[in-house]
Structure 1
Amino acid sequence: MSTPKPVQKNHRGLIIALSFIIPLAVAALFKVKIDLDLPVFLPPIYATINGFTALILMAAVWTIKNGKRSLHEKLMKSALLLSALFLILYVLYHMTSESTSYGGEGLIKYIYYFILISHILLSVAVVPFVLFTFLHGLNQNFIKHKRLARIAFPLWLYVAVTGVVVYLMISPYYIF
């Protein structure tokens, strides 16, 4: 007996709206400054979350290639939750702290800014890919899911890994 197909809901409008609202809200919240001393220094925490997200994404690909659909779904839900947690902590940090300037010079400075800018741009671009891919998976539309996952996975993995790289490159310049 086959698993019943879930009721398909078209969340296209919601995903498109979120794809605009999330980056606009992040940009707007960057301008909000709250005078609050956080009990922990957030950048290493959210960089670690990015690292775990990258590992979970790679594990999720391995699980689906090995026919472990249920585990794949759990891993992908975990990656989404970690990404949401990252975003919350990232915004919270930037609302409560001044931005840190990168202090490297020469070629390494250009490399840093290339990685940072590509990370930021792709973090915005990946949102609709991830959400549509996730929706197609939940709706068991595996043809569309797989087609979009071929785009979403490398973008999301790049964003997660470069998030760690950006942190490692700027960490010597944080002022405590």
Structure 2
Amino acid sequence: MKENSLEQKYSKLIIIVSTLIPVVVALLFSVKLKDFGFNVEPLSFLPPIYAGINGITAIVLVAGVIAIKNGNKALHQRLMTSAIALSVAFLVMYVAYHMTSDSTKFGGEGVVKFVYFIILISHILLSIAVIPLVLITYVRALSEKFDQHKKIARITFPIWLYVAVTGVVVYLMISPYYV
């Protein structure tokens, strides 16, 4: 019963968080602090930092899978919790950057531009989809429903890893166009 009540307890929260994060990010993306009279300098130093955080997240995710495959549950748990914390840090910095800076337009042309937008669009869509997957996977581990945790983790892991890696790729592709 404990597991069911824990999972039920968090299911509404997972739905709320999974809905609110993309909506709030989309809204905050269009809010510029200077439009509200705040005299803030653009946080132009953040993109390489949050791209680096995405890269570290990818490494931590892979290390977490290796840890669990080697039977080290405690290390796996610490690494997965760290990956979540890194993702939250990324999100905070990403929103802060976009609230203080104008969006950068990709300047490439032809096939490169097409590839960039395919990667960017898939990155954005999967970053939205991965939120509930990560939260459900984490709650199933907390609930000690390890069979169900493992089942959903097999879906969550590659999507989360793709989002982390493509975050770095998107940054590397657009970085020459930052002002």
Q: Does 2:141 align with 1:137?
A: yes
Q: What secondary structure sits across from 1:104 in the alignment?
A: coil
Change (3 A) 1:172 1:39: closer
List, as ranges, runs of 4+ consecutive aligned residues in structure 1 with deviation greater than 6 Å.
none
Structure 1 unaligned runs (5+)?
none
**What SS class does the counterpart of residue 166 from structure 2 fall into?**
helix
SS of corresponding position for 2:153: helix
* Amino acid in the other structure paired with 1:132: I
Q: 2:132 corresponds to which residue?
A: 128
Structure richer in helix, relative to its length: 2
1:146 aligned partner: 150
2:43/2:101 contact within 8 Å kept? no
AA of the residue aligned to 1:85 = A
Using the TM superposition, name which of 7-16 and 135-144 deviates more. Answer: 7-16
Any unmatched runs of 5+ in structure 2? 35-39
The sequence identity of aligned pairs, in percent, is: 58
Alpha-carbon distance, 1:138 to partner: 1.1
- Residue 85 of structure 1 and its aligned partner are, at CA, apart by 0.3
Question: Which letter maps to 2:134?
Answer: V
For the residues of structure 2 that align with 1:133 and 1:77, how far apart are their CA atoms? 11
Aligned-partner Cα distance in 1 for 2:122–2:158: 13
Select 2:118's aligned residue among 108, 114, 117.
114
- Report the Cα distance in structure 2 between the residues aligned to 1:145 and 1:8, rounded to whole angstroms: 16
Match of 2:20 in 1: 21
Does 2:58 correspond to 1:54?
yes
1:79-94 aligned within 5 A: 79-94=83-98
Query: Which stretch shifts more, 33-42 or 130-139?
Result: 33-42
- Tell me what 1:171 maps to: 175
State the distance in 1 between where 2:45 and 2:143 align.
39
Q: In 2, Cα distance between the equivalents of 1:107 and 1:173?
A: 17
Post-superposition CA distance 1:61-113 (Å, at most 9, x none): 00000000000000000000000000000000000000000000010000000
RMSD across aligned C-alpha pairs, in angstroms? 1.4
Displacement of 1:139 after TM fit? 1.2
Q: 1:99 aligns with which of 85, 96, 103?
A: 103
For 2:49 and 2:173, locate their aligned partners in 1 and report how far apart those are by CA, in whole Å: 15
